[in-house]
Amino acid sequence: MDEHVTVWLERVARRAGRQEGFGLIELLAAMVILLVGILALFTMFQSGAQTIRHASTVATASALADKEMEGFRAVAYDEVALNQTAFTSADSVYTSKSAYGAPGSAEGNSIVSATATFSPTQTLTGADAHSYRVDDYVTWHTDTTTDTSGKVFTGRAVKVVTVVVRDSITNRIWASATSIFERCVGATTASPCLTGT
């Protein structure tokens, strides 16, 4: 047998014959190190799960905002307005948003109509089976552009639609979408927008 193997076997036999083992302090130190490692792993998994839940909620809220905005895009320009009855009964959460404006025809005013089908606020269920509060804002704005020389051109009045998706319990904003609606977009050649009148 090889001399190194023999020496190694003798050392193993001597250790096996002793009654010594880990002391209490070594055992406690090992347990503390193991506990710190396990807690670090637990915290990492907990943080990852929370991040995934947050991303899922934001994705669902964004999908609801897009779906609501598509509803506005599917109707004629004159129908892009909020229901007047529902608008007057809107709560303080709705009216506290900067996109809110009092009804009227001036810059920043909300566009309401007695025949409009869009409600300013509603509760919808997302794909994740949670409830979300969806607030719609439709306001007047004047389209302005600036040319390369710095001259400002004031254009036509446009409708700005903002959709805000909130948590239905805490009212935390998860997603929002804004789009501008102009009467002349998609106009035909018979439209007064294209003839300059």
Q: Is the pTM of this model over 0.85?
A: no
Residue 191 has a pLDDT of 47
Helices (H) and strands (E) in the chain — how many of each?
5, 6
β-bridge mates for residue 135, sequence order: 121, 164
Residue 197 has a pLDDT of 36
Tell me the helix, strand and coil percentages in the chain, rounded to 5.
40, 25, 30
Residue 176 has a pLDDT of 95
Residue 103 has a pLDDT of 86
Q: Which of 124, 137, 132 is nearest to 86 (CA)?
A: 137
Residue 63 has a pLDDT of 96
Residue 188 has a pLDDT of 46
- How confident is the prediction along the chain (197 residues), in pLDDT tens digits per residue? 577 767 777 776 776 666 566 678 888 898 999 999 999 999 999 999 999 999 999 999 999 999 999 999 999 989 999 999 999 998 999 988 888 888 887 888 899 999 999 999 999 999 999 999 999 999 998 877 777 777 766 677 889 999 999 999 999 999 999 999 988 755 444 444 543 33
Beta strands in 43-193 (DSSP E): 82-83, 112-113, 121-125, 131-146, 152-167, 173-181
